Amino acid sequence: MSLQAGVPVPPALGRRYSRTSAGRAWIASLPGLIQGRLDFWELAADLPAGALPWHGHGGVVVPVRRSDGTQAALKIAFPHDEAKVKRHALQLWQGSGAVRLLESDAGTCAMLLERLDPECSLQAVPLDDAAPVWGRLMRQLSLVPGGGPPWQEFDHIAGRAEQWSDDLPADWEQQGRPFPRWLLEAALEVCQTRGAVGRRSGRDVLVHTDFHFLNILAKPGAPNGRGTGQQGAGNFVAIDPQPMIGEPEFAVAPVLWNRLADLPPVEPAAGLRQRCRDFSAAAGLDAEIARQWAVAREVENALWYAATPGHQGDLARSLWVASTLAGRTLEGLPAAHTLPEPGYSRPFAG
């Protein structure tokens, strides 16, 4: 099967979506979807012969050239609720801190985006340099909600917290109480407190809730940001938003559950808490609120992993992060430096 002549469907993407009838139907439809967008937007695929298009867990990205010869990237996502709202966030950001949206088609979950460098993400930038880059972008992305139609498309973080207040205890019981009750209660306290505060705080902004290192890419040919401090932020932009409205501190959690191998070998727990303070300070955020949200988010992640076969390493990572941020690292977990990086297969978290 091919998307068009010489552009194959990435095998890993095909395997991922072969597990359900909806996934298989989407994979089968990709050739027509891609070709339709290439024709309608007058694009030409820009791949060397035999090369695979880029892909993530949720879609395929084909490097293309527009009719005037400029480079771009055509993304077709598997249709689901989060994929359908990404374009609204990108429209609001207008290329300020995020990848620029050039065209979009809601019916096919297709977006034409500016071309970035997929080989240069913030993942490879030392953390001392990454924090100011992340912080500067976070400030740019934190738009105060307006009254236009796009703003009606986003869920509220406080509403998600209220939902978790009901769901987390039921999931914990259903999964056989996979971690101590005190950690569940710590997450519930966050949900109840932040949910109530979030409804009346007046601090609502547009939040990229999956704002981890791999979702920050460099522009082609731009300096890579190493050693440049805050100046490096101009070379990077955010991609693949999972947008919501609410407290901006909700966005800190993904930089805490990623790159655990970069924590100091001595006292990694203290290093994690310091990272929370450093990234929060870089963005002008409240580190204590960020810590609280990270506990709740990682407990929710842990329950999803507990219910999903093949995610024991992910479960251990989420429990280590959640319990460490809650003040008492659970006993019996692997060392922080041995825990796996996230596989980015969660439908909501990163």
Structural domains of the chain, ranges and CATH numbers in brackets: 2-118 (3.30.200.20), 121-338 (3.90.1200.10)
pLDDT at 228: 42
pLDDT at 281: 98
Please name which of 99, 101, 105 lies closest in space to residue 76, comparing C-alpha atoms.
105
In this prediction the pTM is 0.91
pLDDT at 52: 85
CA atoms of 317 and 260, how far apart (whole Å): 9
CA atoms of 86 and 90, how far apart (whole Å): 6
Check if the beta carbon of residue 83 is closer than 8 Å to that of residue 75: no
Long-range CB pairs of 280-287 (<8 Å, 24+ gap) are 280/249, 280/252, 281/135, 282/131, 282/132, 282/134, 282/135, 282/136, 282/138, 283/134, 283/135, 283/136, 283/138, 283/139, 283/142, 283/248, 283/252, 284/135, 284/139, 285/138, 285/248, 285/249, 285/252, 286/249
CA atoms of 159 and 194, how far apart (whole Å): 10
Q: Is the dihedral of CA 249, 281, 88, 34 positive or negative?
A: negative
SS3 per residue for the chain = CEEECCEECCHHHHHHCCCCHHHHHHHHHHHHHHHHHHHHCCCEECCCCCCCCEECCCEEEEEEECCCCCEEEEEEECCCHHHHHHHHHHHHHCCCCECCEEEEEHHHCEEEEECCEEEEEHHHCCHHHHHHHHHHHHHHHCCCCCCCHHHHHCCEHHHHHHHHHHHHHHHHHHCCCCCCHHHHHHHHHHHHHHHHHHHHCCCCEEEECCCCHHHEEECCCCCCCCCCHHHHHHHEEECCCCEEEECHHHHHHHHHHCCHHHCCCCCHHHHHHHHHHHHHHHHCCCHHHHHHHHHHHHHHHHHHHHCCCCCHHHHHHHHHHHHHHCCCCCCCCCCHHHCCCCCCCCCCCC
Residue-by-residue pLDDT tens, the chain, 350 positions: 444 444 677 888 888 888 899 999 999 888 889 889 999 999 999 988 778 888 877 889 999 999 999 999 999 999 887 778 999 999 999 999 999 999 999 999 999 999 999 889 999 999 999 999 999 999 999 999 988 888 989 999 999 999 999 999 999 999 999 999 999 999 999 999 998 776 666 789 999 999 999 999 999 876 554 444 444 556 999 999 999 999 999 999 999 999 999 999 999 999 999 999 999 999 999 999 999 999 999 999 999 999 999 999 999 999 999 999 999 999 999 999 999 999 754 433 33
